[in-house]
Amino acid sequence: MNLMEIKSYIPKECFKKQPLWGTFYMAFDFFLWLLCVFMYYSAEDRWWLIKILYWFTSGFFMWCQFMHGHDCGHGSFSDSPLLNKIMGHVSHTPLLVPFNTWAESHRRHHLGHNHIDRDYSHPHTVNSVEKLWLLKAIRYTSTYPIIGWFSYLLGLTDDGGHWIPFGGRLWNIDYQYSKQLNSLFSSFLVFSFFYGIIALCEFDIVTFLEWYGMSWIIFSWWVVTVTFLQHHDNTVEQTILYDDAHWTFMKGALQTVDRSYGGMIDTMTHHITNGHIVHHLFFTSIPHYHLEKATHYLYEYFNTNNIDYKYRYTPFFFLTKYINIHLQNIKYKK
């Protein structure tokens, strides 16, 4: 089994990038997010149930919007690096995500998925104390899905800062001055947008939380929960990490988990949930709107060649027990 053999099994149209389609999906998710804001604005009585409904729906559509910047960061939005950068900033800046910095750290995650040292984004805890990258998360596991994204962007993990691009291995390994300048540009856009939102709220923290902040927290929960579960199986024993002697790109990719959270959620989140294995195998070349079809053929290939793959139906993904399981020690291939 090799990557080219798998690629030949998947229809060529799955590798076709169509920026117009990508722009349409991005605009549609922006529309749904802004529709939530408009409906909340139009509500005559914004009592607590309405507030909660607004926060959960708008936060979910912010997560859906995140996926378009995700494609841009990988280069699967279009063949134009400039267009990818422009549209990536359009998608991620309103979410307070510094696009260039996130794209770099996420690229490194894909190049070292399930490697004990080289993986980024969601640290794995292992038997050795030196490998406990997120001791803070173990102290308050129930809140990890809520605080995890904020902590990550702030730079409280080994990866380093995203909002302020300094510190951590992101800026100490293969450091390039030009990349840091690009990251500072993304941070400038994020802080400018944040200031604009605060100004619209007349610098009132309660108003900010009501109209944007609480929705952003729900969005953060989606980012952490979904992406965490894509790289951790249902039990500690089923999640395998590799060291230099055993890791290959293919082995790491096949430790990725395809999870279905239900047809509507999978569709609205552009199948990044139940099409994540094929995404990791071909992350620079398959846009999100082809993931479902590509996954179908990938499963055919796996079944034909008796290759194990990880598909998990997870309708109760919102229960923190799925996260808590993996904030324990995970065994890895030495």
Ranges of beta strands (E only) in 203-273 are 241-242, 258-260
Range 280-283, long-range pairs (CB < 8 A, 24+ positions): 280/110, 280/113, 280/252, 280/253, 280/256, 281/3, 281/6, 281/250, 281/253, 282/7, 282/10, 282/15, 283/74, 283/76, 283/110
Q: What is the pLDDT along the chain (334 residues), one digit of tens a residue?
A: 789 999 999 999 999 999 999 999 999 999 999 999 999 999 988 899 999 999 999 999 999 999 999 999 999 999 999 999 999 999 999 999 999 999 999 999 999 998 888 888 765 655 443 334 444 444 445 677 788 899 889 988 778 899 999 888 888 876 677 888 999 999 999 999 999 999 999 999 999 999 999 999 999 999 988 988 898 887 666 778 888 889 999 999 999 999 999 889 999 999 999 999 999 999 999 999 999 999 999 999 999 999 989 999 988 777 655 555 444 444 444 3
The SS3 of residue 3 is helix
What one-character DSSP code corresponds to residue 244?
A: T
Q: Where are the domains of the chain?
A: 3-333
Ranges of beta strands (E only) in the chain are 241-242, 258-260, 311-313, 332-333
160 Rama class: left (phi>0) / alpha (psi -120 to 50) / beta: left
